[in-house]
Structure 1
Amino acid sequence: MSAPSKITGGCLCGAVRYEVNFKPNHDFKNNAFVCLCTQCRKQSGALALHFFNVTLPSFTWTSPNPSARSDYEIIPGNHRHFCTTCGSFIAWQGDNNPTPEGEGQLEICAGTIDEEFLIGKKDADGEVVPGTGWGEVLCHPEGKITWAQNDIGKVTAGICGTRYKYGSSDGVKFYSICREMRLQLVVPVKPGDGKNKGDRGVEELNGQLWHVTAPLDIDDARDVKFHCISYVWGQGREKPGNFFDNEISISDKTRPALIAAIRAIKASGFEADGPVEEAFWIDALCVPYADGPDRYGTLESMGHIYSAAESVIIIIQDPAWKIILEASSGTTPDALSYDDMQALEGDKWITSVWTYQELVNARKIHFAPIHPEGYDSIVKGERFFNCTGYSLDQWKKRNDKTTSESLIEFPTLNTFEDTLADLATSGYLGRSVFQVLANMACRTYDPFFPANRLLASLGALTQKVSWGPPSMTISDLSEKVMGTCEADNDYSFIYTTDERDETPGLQWRPDAKQIQTDLSKPVNLIPILSWSSWGEPFGATQTGYKDDAGFWLENMIQLQQSDATSEEVKRLLENWLYRPKDLSQPGAASKGFFKQTESDKLNFGDAMLKALKQMRFSGAQKPVICEDGLFFPLKPLGGRQDVELFAASSIRWVFGSPGLARWKEGDKTKYSAGVFTGVVRHKEAKAVLIV
C-alpha cells in the first residue's frame, strides 16, 4: 500500500492550519490508533477518535492567525490543541511522550486532515476520484485501539485494530480485530527447525515429518503457496492430543485425508503452475481452536483462503471415488448409470454447504481417494464435472423424463449441476447473493452448527479477509452477509422469505434478529425460490442507492393488476411448463418442466404453482393476476391496503423474475418478497423509491 509524503489540515473555520512532511521511513501502521478514553470523548463528542502520530520535526503549524490556537490541560503536561474560534479539537501532545530516539511527538486528530488527502480529490462533477485519498493509510485498519475497556458493545467493537485495555504503553492487550491474515499450514519439518520425531505437534506421514506452523506474518494468503484439502468430517472423532497435538476433538478422517493429499500432489497428472509446494491448509488443524475472534475471523475468511490456494484437493470415499474414476477414464465423458447417479445423490461431500464455496473459489481442482488402495490416482475436476450434466440430460432422454421428474429423482445432482454453472463463470463474473443463497438452500449442514450455512455463503460472496467484529451469532452473521453485499451494491438479499426489519427506514430489509427455533429449519436469508438465475445484463444484480429522498431500488418494473393475463403471457408460461406435443422437433424432448399431459389436469396458473413448489417456494397458494403475468406473493395480499407489486428487471429466470410486494397497515409500510412469472418488460424498468 502506497503512502503520502505530505498532508495538510486544519480546523473547521480555517483559523488553525498545519502541514505534515512524513519521513521516508514513517511507520503508518504503528502510528495509527483510536482512542476510546472519556477525555477524548468529552472534548470531541465522538465515541471513538482516530489519531495518527507524527514527530515534531515533521510537523509545522501554518495558521494564518496563531492567536486562534490554544490548548487545554485537564492533566498537567498533556496539551489538547484546539481552535478558539470554532472549537475544533486538532491534536494531543504530551510533554513526556518522546519517541525511542528522543523526538517529541504530536497526535493529530485524523478528522482534521484536508478532504483531498483524507478521502481523495474530486473531479469536475464533485465526485471523489477513487484511489486518490490516504485515509486508510493514515487511520490504518491494523493500528492500535486504546482504552478498550470503554468499548460500547457492538457500536465500537467493530473498529479494526489491536485493543489495549488502557494506553498501548501499558501493554495490557485484549484482542485484535483487523484484516490481518491468520494463516496456519501443515508443512514438512526442515533441517534446523529444531523439531524431531516424537516431539509434541510433530507427526510422521508418508515417511516424512510434518508440523503445523504458527500463524504466518502475512497480510494476504496469496503471498504463500499451499493447497486446500476438502473432505467430509463424518461422525468419528480423534481425541484431543492424538494428531498434531490437537487441542479439541477433530474428525478421524483428518489423518487419512491429509495423507491422501500428500500422496496426491506427487501423483502423475497433478496440475500446478510451477514447482509443487508441500504445504496444506486443512480445517481441523488450521482453524484456531479457541472460541473467539481468531477462530471466527478465519471461518469468515474461507473465501479468501480457498481462492488463494494453488489448488483444492477433494478427498473422496467409496463408492463415489470409484464412480468418479471410472466416469473420467475415457477421452470423452460417459453417462453415469442410474445406480451410480443414485450413489452420488447421497454423497455427503456433494450435498455439503461448504462444497459450493470451495468449488467456486478454487483455481484448480483435483479429486483423490481416501483409501490406500487408490493412492497415486487423481482425477482433474473438469473431467468429472463434464459428465454430471451430461448424465442428467441422457437419463431424461433415455427414460422420457422431464425436468420435474429429474428434480424428484436427483435433487442433489441438479443442485450440483447449478454449482458447476457458477463455477464455469466464477473467473470473470461475480455472484449475486441471491444466486448463492438459492444454491445453499438445497444443501445440507450440521444442524448443531447452523452458522455454517451463512459462513459458507459469505465465503462464496467475498474473497477478502474477514473484517470487523467476529460474527458470534446467526444474527451477527446474517448482518455481516447483508453488509458485505451492500458494500458491493448487491441488494438481491431482499428476495428472501425473511421477516422484515421494523426499524423506520429499513422496513424493506430482512430482519437479522429473527429467532431460529428449529435447528434444522433456518430462517435467516432463505431465498424466495431455489432455482438458478442469471443477471440481466449478464453478471448484473439488484442494485440500489440512497439520496436525500430516501432509498431507491434500481431497475424495477411496477406490475399492473388485471382481471386476466394476455395471450402472450399464457403462451410464454405454457411453452416453459409443458413439453411440446411434437417430439420430432429438434430438442423437443428436453423442453418443458412437465409432460404435455399435465396441461389436461391443471390450468397454467395451478401448474405454475406446482412447479414453483418444486423449487422450494413456500408462499401463498393464490397468485395475483397482472397484465404481464402472475405474481405469487410470500404472504396472502387479499384485504391489504394500497398493494403495489414490483418485478426485478436485473435478476432473471426463463419464466420470470423475483419480485417485491408493498402495502399499508395503518400508517406503516410493509414489504414482502414474491415470485413474478410472465413477461419481463425491461424497457419499463426504473428506479423505485422504497422508503
Structure 2
Amino acid sequence: MLLYFLVDSSSVSDDPTTLEIGGRRWWLTSEEVDASQQHPKDFICISYTWGTKRAPNPFDASKSVSSNTIPGLYAAIHQRPDCHRFWIDAFCVPSDPDQKRFTLASMGFIYSQAQEVIVVLSETSTLALEQMLISDTIDEAALEALESEPWITRAWTYQEVVNSYTLSFTCASPVPLPGASYNLVTAISGDTFLNRIGYTLSKLPMRSFEKAQAYPSLSAFEDLIVDWMTAAYQERSALQVMANMDRRVQERAEDHFYAMIGPMTADLASLSPEGNACEEFMALCERKGDYSFIYSLAARSEERTKTWRPSSEGDLPAILPWHCWGEKQPGHWEDGALYLDEMVVLKPGQLGDEGEKFIRGWLTAATEFGSEDIPVEDSMFYCLEQMGFKSHCRTVDSSAGYLFLCEDLSPDDNVTLLVSASLRWTFGAPGMARWETNGETKYTAGIFVGLIKQNETSTVKMI
C-alpha cells in the first residue's frame, strides 16, 4: 500500500512545499508499505478532530485543512521529538477519489501499523489530563469538559483507538509564534487515560442507563474502553461496532461505514467497484463469518433469497445502541442458503413463570422498575427506551420472554422467533421475527428480553 508521511528533512529547507513546525522542517513524501510485515513501524499516527474551522493547506494552496491540524501536529511533535515520521489525515490521505476511498477504508490497517497513536484533545480537556497525572479519578468539572470534548464523539475515534499498538493522550494549544512558547500538558498513556475515565464513571452514584443519559458521550466512550482493553484477545462483533458508532458523528454519510470497517479488520481494504460503503461493511462481515449486522433497524433487502439481509441503501443502525458481549453471530453457507448457528428458536405463547422470574429479577437488580404492581412488559419497555430503543412497533410473547420488534406485524401472521445465543446483553439478546406473507418469507430485527438456554440452541436456515 502506498502511504504518505510527513518526514523531518531539514535538508530541503528551500523547498516551498516544506512546513516548519517546532523549529524543524517537514515535507510530504510517499512510501510503499508491505502489508505482510509485522507492526510496529517507525511512524506515529495523530488522532484529533477536524471541527468546523478551516485553514490554508500549506502543501496545496487550492485546498484547506482543519484549523486544528497544525496545532495537533505541533503537540505530537513536541511530545515525541525523536520521531521523524508522522501520519496525519489532513496531509496524508490522498486527494485522488479512488485512492482516498481505499485509504479511508484501510484506516484500521494504517493505525495498527503505527508504533504509536497520539490523541490530541482540545485545550478544554487540559484540566482532566492534569488531574489524571496525579489521581485515579477526575472531578466533576473535568468530567463535564470531557463530556463536551469533540474528539470523544468523533466517528473515527473508535477505530483509531481499538487498532492502536501503543496509545497516548495529550492536549493541543496554539502554535507558538517565533520566540514564544506554550506549556503543553505531559502526554499520558492510553491505559492511564482510559482507566481514569472508567474508574471515575464507575464511582458515579447512578445506574447504567442513568449515566448514559447524564453523560451520553462518555457512556459510549466507556464501551470503547472495554473494546480497547480486550482487543488483544477478543474480536468485537459487527453489532457492537454498529451500536457504538450510532452514538458518534461524522461529516459525510459514507464515513460512518468506513469508520466501522477499521474496528472489524486491520487488513487492507477490499472495495467494490460500485463504491457502496454500507455494502462493503456488510460484505466484510460476511467474509469474517459474522452475521450480527442483521440485527439492525434498517429495512430488509428486496432480493427474494436474502430477505433476512439489511438493505445496503441507507443507514445501518443497531437494534439497540448499547454494549453487547460476544465475538460474532456465527453463520455458514450451504447449498446457496445461509444458516445461522447458535440460535434459539421460539414460538409465540404466554410468558412462563421461569421467563417472568428472570425478567423481574433483572429489573429489580439493575433498575428501580422491578415492582410487581407494574406489568413486566411495560417496565422492560421503559428500560429499553432509556437505553435508546426508539422503533418499537409490536411485542411478541413467548414462554421464555418477549421479543420487542421494530416492525409492526399482523396478529394473524405465523411468527417464529429467532434469538441469538452467541451475542448477549445482561437482560437478553438480539433476535429476529420470521413470518410468511403473500408466499414470501419476511424478517425484522428485535430485542429479546428473557431467558436463553444454551442447551436449546440449533442451526437455523434463513430461507
Q: TM-score range by the shorter chain?
A: over 0.9
CA contact (8 A) 1:529 1:615 kept: yes
Tell me whether 1:636 sits opposite 2:387 in the alignment: no
Map residues 141-180 of structure 1 onto 2, 5 A cutoff.
none
Q: CA deviation at 1:277?
A: 3.4
Q: Count how many residue pairs are aligned between Structure 1 and Structure 2.
A: 454
What letter corresponds to residue 18 of structure 2 in structure 1?
V
How is 1:67-78 mapped onto 2 (pairs within 5 angstroms)? none
Q: Partners of 1:223 and 1:623 in 2: how far apart?
A: 50
**Length-normalised TM-score, structure 2:** 0.93
Q: Measure, in 2, the Cα distance between the counterparts of 1:201 and 1:285.
A: 12
Aligned with 2:87 (options 258, 274, 281):
281
Q: What does residue 299 of structure 2 align with? A: 499
Alignment equivalent of 1:467, drawn from 256, 263, 270: 270
Partner of residue 177, structure 2: none
Q: Distance in 2 between matches of 1:601 and 1:318?
A: 50
Q: Which residue of 2 aligns with 1:479?
A: 279
Alpha-carbon deviation of 1:411? 1.4
Unaligned runs of 5+ in 2: 174-180
- Name the structure 2 match of 1:219: 34
Please tell me whether residue 230 in structure 1 is matched to residue 47 in structure 2.
yes
Partner of 2:189: 380
**Greater C-alpha radius of gyration:** 1
Please tell me whether residue 660 in structure 1 is matched to residue 432 in structure 2.
yes
Equivalent residue number for residue 203 of structure 1:
19
Of 327, 330, 333, the match for 1:546: 333
Give me the whole-angstrom Cα distance separating, in 2, the residues matched to 1:316 and 1:662: 46
TM-score (ref. length: structure 1): 0.63
Q: What does the per-residue CA deviation read over 1:600-636, in whole Å, with 9 as the maximum and x for residues that have no partner?
A: 7732211111111122222335421110011111112
CA distance in 1, matches of 2:185, 2:210: 39
Q: Which residue of 2 aligns with 1:577?
A: 363
RMSD, aligned α-carbons:
1.9
**Which of the pair has the greater relative contact order for Cα pairs under 8 Å at 6+ separation?**
2
Aligned partner (choices 368, 374, 382) of residue 595 of structure 1? 368
Q: For residue 159 of structure 2, give the secondary structure of its aligned residue in structure 1.
A: helix
State whether residues 401 and 449 of structure 2, in contact with CA within 8 Å, keep that contact through their aligned partners in structure 1: yes
Q: Is the 8 A contact 2:347 2:417 kept in 1?
A: yes
SS at match of 1:323: helix
- Kindly indicate whether the alpha-carbon contact (under 8 Å) linking 2:339 and 2:462 is maintained by their aligned counterparts in 1: yes
Given that 2:126 and 2:185 are in contact with CA atoms closer than 8 Å, whether structure 1 keeps it comes out as: no
Matching of residues 676-687 of structure 1 within 5 Å = 676-687=448-459
**1:305 counterpart SS class:** helix
**In structure 2, C-alpha distance between the alignment counterparts of 1:442 and 1:549, rounded to whole Å:** 36
Give the structure 2 partner of residue 68 of structure 1: none
Q: Is the 8 A contact 2:209 2:387 kept in 1?
A: no
Deviation at 1:223, TM superposition (A): 7.8
The DSSP-based 3-state class of the residue aligned with 1:184 is strand
d(CA) in 1 for partners of 2:172, 2:289: 42
CA change 1:566–1:600 in 2 (3 A) is closer
Please list the CA deviations of residues 36-82 of structure 1 after superposition, one character each: whole Å capped at 9, or x if unmatched.
xxxxxxxxxxxxxxxxxxxxxxxxxxxxxxxxxxxxxxxxxxxxxxx
Alignment of 1:189-588 (within 5 A): 189=9, 191=11, 195-197=12-14, 199-213=15-29, 215-220=30-35, 222=39, 224-240=41-57, 243-245=58-60, 247-266=62-81, 276-290=82-96, 292-330=97-135, 333-334=136-137, 336-371=138-173, 373-375=182-184, 377-396=186-205, 401-446=206-251, 449-469=252-272, 472=275, 476-514=276-314, 524-535=315-326, 539=327, 541-548=328-335, 550-563=337-350, 565-579=351-365
Letter aligned with residue 110 of structure 2? I
**Cα displacement string for residues 108-133 of structure 1 (whole angstroms, at most 9, x for unaligned residues):** xxxxxxxxxxxxxxxxxxxxxxxxxx
Distance across 2 between alignment mates of 1:283 and 1:200: 21
Native 8 Å contact 2:120 2:172 kept in 1: yes
Which aligned segments of 4 or more residues in structure 1 are displaced greater than 6 angstroms?
none
Query: 1: CA distance between counterparts of 2:433 and 2:394?
Result: 14
Cα deviations across residues 75-108 of structure 1 (Å, max 9, x unaligned)?
xxxxxxxxxxxxxxxxxxxxxxxxxxxxxxxxxx
SS at match of 1:315: strand
Are 2:56 and 2:64, in contact at CA under 8 Å, matched by a contact in 1? yes
SS at match of 2:297: coil
- Give the percent of matched residue pairs that are identical in Structure 1 and Structure 2: 33
Letter in 1 for 2:8: P
What whole-Å deviation, never above 9, does each CA across 1:162-186 have from its counterpart, x for those lacking one?
A: xxxxxxxxxxxxxxxxxxx120000
Contact kept? 2:271, 2:280, Cα under 8 Å = no
Distance in 1, Cα, partners of 2:265 & 2:418: 29
CA contact 1:439–1:531 (8 Å) conserved in 2: yes
Q: Which amino acid is the alignment partner of residue 526 of structure 1? A: P
Instruction: For 2:433 and 2:67, locate their aligned partners in 1 and report how far apart those are by CA, in whole Å.
Output: 49
Does the CA-based 8 Å contact 2:346-2:417 persist in structure 1? yes
User: Of residues 177, 184, 188 in structure 1, which corresponds to 2:8?
Assistant: 188
Tell me, what secondary structure is at the counterpart of 1:623? strand
Consecutive unaligned residues of structure 1, counting only runs of 5 or more, are 1-180, 267-275, 515-523, 580-591
Query: Following TM superposition, by how much is the alpha carbon of 1:348 offset from its aligned partner in structure 2, in angstroms?
Result: 0.4
C-alpha distance in 2 between matches for 1:553 and 1:293: 35
Give 1 or 2: higher helix fraction: 2
8 Å CA contact retained: 1:248, 1:289: no
Aligned residues of 1:454 and 1:478 also touching (Cα < 8 A)? yes
Question: Using a 3 Å threshold, how does the CA distance of structure 1 residues 246 and 653 change in structure 2: closer, same or farther?
Answer: farther
Q: 1:224 to 1:343 in 2, by over 3 A?
A: closer
Partner of 1:585: none
**Distance in structure 2 (CA, Å) of the matches to 1:621 and 1:478:** 25
Q: Residues 324 and 646 of structure 1: is their aligned pair in 2 closer, same or farther, counting only changes over 3 Å?
A: same
Q: In the TM superposition, what is the alpha-carbon distance from 1:551 to its structure 2 partner?
A: 2.0
Q: Distance in 2 between matches of 1:681 and 1:370?
A: 51
CA–CA separation in structure 2 for the residues paired with 1:217 and 1:414: 39
